Chain A
Amino acid sequence: MSDESDKQNGAEASGRPERPAPEPPGYFEGESMTRRKAFTVAVQGIGGLAGAAIVLPAVGFAVAPIFHRGKERWEAVGPVNDFVEDTYRQVVFTETEGIGDAGKTTAYIRRSSEQLEEEPGKFVAVSNRCAHLGCPVRFVEAAGNFICPCHGGVYDFQGKRIGGPPVRPLDQFQTRVRAGQVEVGPRYSVTSQLEPVRARDPGEFTGGVWEYLYPPRPSTFPPP
C-alpha cells in the first residue's frame, strides 16, 4: 500500500528508526490478503483476459495462413511427344487457383537425359523463379543456360547455379504422366546436388545445416 511504502522510504531517507505501519481495522495476525490487493489482482486478471480475448483471435487470424496448406494441384501441360531431351520447352500453367492471371507461372520442361545420369523416362520441370530473389529467369537456347535479368544469376542446363548471386539451383515441379499427357504438380526445391527438399523461398540456402536455419514451412508439400 502506498501509504506504508511512503512512510517506510521516508523513514529510511531521513534516518529515523522504522515504525511498523498501522494495521487496517479488522486486521488479524497472519492476514496476507487485503481488499486493495484483491481488487488489484482482479483488475489485472480481468483486464488481461479482456485484452487477450480481443488480440489473440485477431493475431491468430493474421498468422493462420502460415499453417494452411492448399489442395495439391496437378495440371496437364502437353502431350508426351512434345518434349525433348536436349532443350527445354516453355509452358504456362496455373499454380494458384482463383486469382486469374496472377496465379499462373512459367515452367521449362524436358525429358530426363541419360547423359546427365538422370532416371530415364521421367520429365524434368524447372521453375522460372530465380533462386536469388524470385525474378523471372529465361532459358537461352544458344548458351543452354538460364539467365536472370535482375541481378545477373546464371544457371546451367540442369538448373544448377554457375554464376551470380543465386544461393541454390532452380526449383522444380513434380511431374507425372497421365493418359499420354505430362502433368506438373506441386513445387519443390533442390540442394546444390539436385536432391529434392521441401519448397523454399528464394534466397534461402538448402541442404545440411541450412535445413534448420531455414526450416521447412507447413504450407508447402512434401518433396518427391
Chain B
Amino acid sequence: MLCTQATEDAGMRRPWGSGMKPADKQAYLEEYELLKKKGKPFFPYAVLKDSAMMLAVVGVIILMSVILGAEQGPKADPTTTTYVPRPEWYFFFLFELLRVIKPPELVPIATIGIPTICMVLLLLLPFYDRGPERNPIRRPIATTAGILTIIAMAYLTFLGATGGSPTEIEMEVAPQYEAGKEVVAGAGCLACHKIGENGNNGPGPELTHIAARIPRAAIVRSVEIGPGIMPSFRDLPPKKLNELADFLSSLD
C-alpha cells in the first residue's frame, strides 16, 4: 500500500490501467477494520467450525475407503487390443473436449491451447477484474462467467462419463437382435456413427433412429456399397449381414 501511495504521489501512471482508486482502497480497508471489530476471535469460534469440517472431511474419506475399497484393475498391458482407456473422473471434461474436437488441425488447440488459455485467465484474474465491488449480485459479468464455466465443466464431465467406447453398444435390444448388435459393434460402425450413447457423432450420420428414416433395403444398400468415405461391408458373411440389417432396421 505504501508503494502504490508513493507512485501515485510521484504522478507515475501505471501502464495497465487504474484499477481501484486509492480512495476505494482506503474505504475498503476502513470498512474491513470496522467489520473485524464487530467480529469474533478466531480461536475458538472459527476454529470450531474448521474443526467440525475437518472431521467431516476425514470421515468422508475413511467412509469412501471402507465402502468403495481400492481394488486394482488388471495389470498394465501395452499390447492390449480390447481395453478402453479412460482418465480419472476429474479429467473427464478435458477428455470429452478431445472427443468432440474432431478435425486434426484443431487437436493441439484442444490438448494445449484451451487448457493453457484457461489457466492463464485464471491466474491473472485479479489483474483484469479490479473493480471494488465484491457482492456477486452486483458483479454480473464475473458471476455469469463463473456460473457458465461451472455449467460447461459439469456438462462436459457428464458427457465424458456417459460416453461409451466406439466398440460396444450399450443398448437394450430384443433378444432376436442381440446377434446383430454384436456384429455392428464389432464391425467398426461406431467409429463413424453414433448409436445410442456409443460411437462418434461423425463423419457418418447418427443411426439411433435410422429405421424411421430409411427402409431396410436402403440400409442394406448403404452397407454393401459404402457411399462416399464409408467402406463397403459386402465381404461380411451373408449371415452376419442379415443380422446387422435386422438390428439396424429395428432402430426406429
Contacts and interface: CB of A to CB of B under 8 A. Distances in A.
A104 B75 CA distance: 13
A203 B108 contact: yes
A149 B202 CA distance: 14
A109 to B, nearest CB: 14
A140 B187 contact: yes
Interface in A132-162: 132-133, 135-136, 138-140, 142-145, 147-154, 156, 161-162
Contacts of A101: 75-78
Interface string B84-123: 1100000000010011011110011011000000000000
Interface string B199-216: 110110000000000000
Contact of A145 (B85, B107, B191, B240): B191
Contacts of A103: 78
Most chain A beta-carbon contacts within 10 A, residue among B111, B166, B190: B166
Given A102-B78, A104-B78, A151 B98 contact: yes
B188 A132 contact: no
Interface residues of A, number: 39
Contact of A164 (B75, B77, B200): B200
A135 B191 contact: no
A132 B103 CA distance: 11
Interface residues of B, number: 43
B77 A140 contact: no
A150 B84 contact: yes
A144 B233 CA distance: 9
A145 B204 CA distance: 15
Contact of B229 (A133, A140, A151, A162): A162
A137 to B, nearest CB: 8
Given A142-B233, A147-B166, A165 B104 contact: yes
Nearest to A107: B79
Contact of B191 (A106, A139, A147, A203): A147
B231 interface: yes
Contact of B188 (A92, A102, A136, A143): A143
B135 interface: no
A140 B188 contact: yes
A156 B232 CA distance: 12
Given A147-B166, A152-B200, A106 B81 contact: yes
Interface string B176-209: 0000000100111111100000011011000000
B79 A105 contact: yes
Contacts of A168: 104
Given A165-B104, A203-B111, A149 B76 contact: no
A149 to B, nearest CB: 4
Contact of A138 (B81, B111, B183, B200): B81
Contacts of A140: 186-188
Contacts of A182: none
Given A142-B236, A148-B166, A165-B99, 9 more contacts: A102-B76, A136-B81, A140-B186, A142-B183, A150-B99, A152-B190, A152-B200, A161-B104, A163-B192
26 contacts: A90-B81, A101-B75, A101-B76, A101-B78, A102-B78, A104-B79, A106-B78, A106-B79, A133-B111, A135-B85, A136-B78, A136-B79, A136-B80, A136-B85, A142-B240, A143-B233, A149-B83, A149-B167, A150-B99, A152-B190, A152-B191, A161-B104, A163-B203, A163-B229, A165-B98, A165-B102
